[in-house]
Amino acid sequence: MLWRSIFSLSTHSVSSNNNLYYTGVPSASNVIYYDGGAAFQGMLAYKLIAAPRDSNSVYETATPFISTVPTASNFLHIDPSQYTLVRGNGINIPGISDDFDADIRQGNAGYAGSASAPDIGADEFNLCIPPAAPVSLSALSDYVICGPNGGTTSLTALGNGTINWYSTAIGGSLIASGNSFTTPFITSNTVFYAATTTSCSSNRTPFNVVVLPKPSVSIMSPTNTICEGTSISLIASGDAATYTWTQNGSNATAIVISPTATTVYSVTAAAAYGCTNTASQQIVVNASPSITVSAETNSVICKGEIARLKASGAHTYTWTANSLLANSYSVQAMPAINTTYTVAGTDANGCVGTGTIQQKVNTCTGIRENAGSSLQVLVYPNPTNGAFTVELNNGLNKTLELFDLTGRTIMTSTSDDNSFAINIDQFPTGVYYLKVRSNNTVEIVKVVKQ
């Protein structure tokens, strides 16, 4: 740079050249040269009156000094990241091969820069226009580590050069290089910085790493044990933004399931910031009991006879035909026609299985025909107040059974007499059936007690 304190050019060497002139923004008070009468603000006007001096000299309104404080360590050093006419517009001075930092000047042995001529002034430097700062490849503004105890994550940056990673925005030591950087284990929010580096470095891009909790999630169900063939609702509960069930991919909060075997159901909860958590619930499926139904009497009975049926395989039982019949493992019935009986058995887990049996009924007409005649049983008085006589004059052994309307046997008797008395005073009024069996023939007589 050139500064003059006298008006005349007579003391300004005619060989002076390759200088940098600076006055700030040209104005009436900011001029390149003043001869005592005229002021020269522009470089071209000055060169016309100063020729042959300064034909290769330059002028700029602002030179990017790092510091102009004489006591600073970088006093009069040029910022290499800023464009300036100082760069490559100087000439070598015989006997001077380096600058005030001992950096070799262009044109001298050992020079390692890229300029085509020395720099003007005391600082020989390499101009470097910083590349663009790197950009994050994350879709989110922050990188997230999930979980209260912290962890690590991978940061990825893209830039036109080598990506260098730092823990500070300015200065500090290089901690990694490359487009991807795996952080150390961190337990709290931390900022890392990346710079694109060519021959110089870009500004540093911050990469925010935040430690966030996983969303809470649980599965609610009315029970964790069901019976085969039944359904149950599962409800995902928590503070997540979305839920996804593993078994069917449903995003509904509640699902209805009907498993055929014991199954573990899982749901993944996702927070808006990306953290996930999973809950699981085992649903135990109990098999239905296998109900076995059999007839204690013959599978074919005569009309008016009692059928005894029983069931096994469960703890409690409910029998039905056309209507509720009984709640017991065994029942007696007196069907008039072929009838199918269904029994529902409940086991200790509350699961229900069913079984059926058909009780066939024969009119037994053929039996009487084979015997030659009917028994011709006489019952009197009928209706009765309690006592009545049964008469069968065949001189053979006779078996008598008296049933109520439920098929329950309330009285039995065996006799060889042709006539015998029966008393049912102890039983309530109603309809009863007297079955008389003799000589391989059966006859049923309805008895009415008044």
pLDDT digits (tens, 9 = 90+) for 131-165: 899 999 886 778 899 988 889 999 999 999 999 99
Residue 141 pLDDT: 77
For residue 429, pLDDT over 70 is answered with: yes
The rounded Cα 88 to chain-centroid distance in angstroms is 63
Give residue 385's pLDDT. 92
Q: Amino acid identity of 69?
A: V
Rounded to an integer, what distance in angstroms lies between the CA atom of residue 396 and that of residue 440? Answer: 11
Mean pLDDT, residues 8-20 taken together? 84
pLDDT for the residue 364: 66
CATH: 3.40.50.300, 1.10.3720.10, 2.60.40.3080, 1.20.1440.130. Which one for 372-449?
2.60.40.3080
Three-state secondary structure string covering 426-448: CCCCEEEEEEEEECCEEEEEEEE
pLDDT digits (tens, 9 = 90+) for 273-296: 889 999 999 999 999 999 999 988
Answer yes or no: are the C-beta atoms of 77 and 125 closer than 8 Å: yes
Give CA–CA dist 377/387, Å, rounded: 16
Between residues 190 and 82, the one the model is more confident about: 190
Residue 374 is predicted with a pLDDT of 61
Assigned superfamily of 135-212: Immunoglobulins (2.60.40.10)
Is pLDDT above 70 for 343?
Answer: yes
Question: Sheet harboring 387-391: ordered strands across?
Answer: 378-380, 387-391, 419-423
Cβ partners under 8 Å of residue 361, min gap 6: 300, 301, 302, 303, 335, 336, 337, 338, 339
Q: What is the pLDDT of residue 355?
A: 94
Please tell me the distance from the alpha carbon of residue 386 to that of residue 232, in angstroms, as a whole number.
Answer: 58
Can 217-286 and 292-362 be said to share one CATH topology? yes
Q: If pLDDT is split at 50, 70 and 90, which confidence band does 372 have?
A: very low
Residue 366 token pair: 């053929």
Domain residue spans of the chain:
135-212, 217-286, 292-362, 372-449
Q: What is the pLDDT of residues 376-391, one digit of tens each?
A: 888 889 889 999 999 9
The answer to whether the beta carbons of residues 276 and 268 sit under 8 Å apart is yes
Q: What angle do CA 139, 142, 147 make, to 5 degrees?
A: 110
Confidence (pLDDT) at 274: 87
- Is residue 7 very low, low, confident or very high in pLDDT (cuts 50, 70, 90)? low
Query: Percent of the chain, pLDDT > 70?
Result: 95
Copy the structure tokens of residue 68: 């102009």
**pLDDT per residue as tens digits for the range 208-237:** 999 999 999 999 999 999 999 999 999 999
What is the chain's mean pLDDT, rounded? 87
List the Cα angle 219/221/223 in 5-degree steps.
Answer: 135
* pTM of the predicted structure, to 2 decimals: 0.53
Task: Tell me the CATH class for 292-362.
Answer: mainly beta
Classified as helix, coil or strand, 148 is: coil
Residue 368 has pLDDT above 60, yes or no: no
Cβ atoms within 10 Å, residue 402: 18
Choose the most confident range, by mean pLDDT, from 25-39, 258-272, 313-327, 430-444.
258-272
The second-level CATH assignment, the architecture, of 217-286 is: Sandwich (2.60)
Instruction: Summarize the confidence of residues 95-110 as an average pLDDT.
Output: 88
For residues 318 and 352, what is the distance between their CA atoms, to the nearest angstrom? 10
Tell me how far apart the alpha carbons of residues 325 and 316 are, in angstroms, rounded to a whole number: 14
